[in-house]
Amino acid sequence: VLPSSLRSRDSQIWYQVVQENGQVWYQVVQEDGQVWYQVVQEDGQVWYQVVQEDGQIWYQVVQEDGQVWYQVVQEDGQIWYQVVQEDGQIWYQVVQEDGQVWYQVVQEAGQVWYQVVQEAGQVWYQVVQEDGQVWYQVVQEDGQVWYQVVQEAGQVWYQVVQEDGQVWYQVVQEAGQVWYQVVQEAGQVWYQVVQEDGQVWYQVVQEAGQVWYQVVQEDGQVWYQVVQEDGQVWYQVVQEDGQIWYQVVQEAGQVWYQVVQEDGQLWYQVVQEDGQLWYQVVQEDGQVWYQGVVSSVVMFAGYVDRAELEDELYGEESEGSEVEDSELEFRLYSQLHYSSNPGEKEEEDED
Q: How does residue 321 score in pLDDT terms, banded at 50, 70 and 90?
A: very low
Q: How does residue 104 score in pLDDT terms, banded at 50, 70 and 90?
A: low
Nearest alpha carbon to residue 142 among 155, 129, 168, 161: 161
Looking at the predicted structure, is the pLDDT value of residue 49 above 60? no
Nearest alpha carbon to residue 219 among 236, 196, 193: 196
Paired residues of 182 in beta bridges: 191
- Distance CA(107)–CA(111), nearest Å, equals 5
Buried b (16+ CB within 10 A) or exposed e, 288-303: bbbbbbeeeeeebbbb
Q: How does residue 7 score in pLDDT terms, banded at 50, 70 and 90?
A: very low
- Distance CA(158)–CA(168), nearest Å, equals 11
pLDDT score recorded for residue 309? 44
Q: How does residue 276 score in pLDDT terms, banded at 50, 70 and 90?
A: low
Paired residues of 71 in beta bridges: 60, 82
| Per-residue pLDDT tens over the stretch 144-193 | 555 565 555 555 555 655 555 555 556 655 555 555 665 555 555 556 66
Q: How does residue 350 score in pLDDT terms, banded at 50, 70 and 90?
A: very low
CATH of domain 195-264: 3.90.930.1
Using H for helix, E for strand and C for coil, what is the string for the chain? CCCHHHECHHHCECCEEEEECCEEEEEEECCCCCEEEEEEEECCEEEEEEECCCCCEEEEEEEECCEEEEEEECCCCCEEEEEEEECCEEEEEEECCCCCEEEEEEEECCEEEEEEECCCCCEEEEEEEECCEEEEEEECCCCCEEEEEEEECCEEEEEEECCCCCEEEEEEEECCEEEEEEECCCCCEEEEEEEECCEEEEEEECCCCCEEEEEEEECCEEEEEEECCCCCEEEEEEEECCEEEEEEECCCCCEEEEEEEECCEEEEEEECCCCCEEEEEEEECCEEEEEEEECCEEEEEEECCHHHHHHHHHHHHHCCCCCCHHHHHHHHHHCCECCCCCCCCCCCCCC
Mean pLDDT of all residues in 118-137 = 54
Domain boundaries, given as residue ranges, for the chain: 1-68, 78-175, 195-264, 276-346
Average pLDDT over the chain reads: 54
| Measured CA angle at 214 (ends 208, 215), to 5 deg | 165
Common-topology check for domains 78-175 and 195-264: yes
Mean pLDDT of all residues in 321-328 = 46
Q: How does residue 235 score in pLDDT terms, banded at 50, 70 and 90?
A: low
pLDDT score recorded for residue 232? 66
CATH of domain 78-175: 3.90.930.1
Q: How does residue 38 score in pLDDT terms, banded at 50, 70 and 90?
A: low
pLDDT score recorded for residue 297? 37
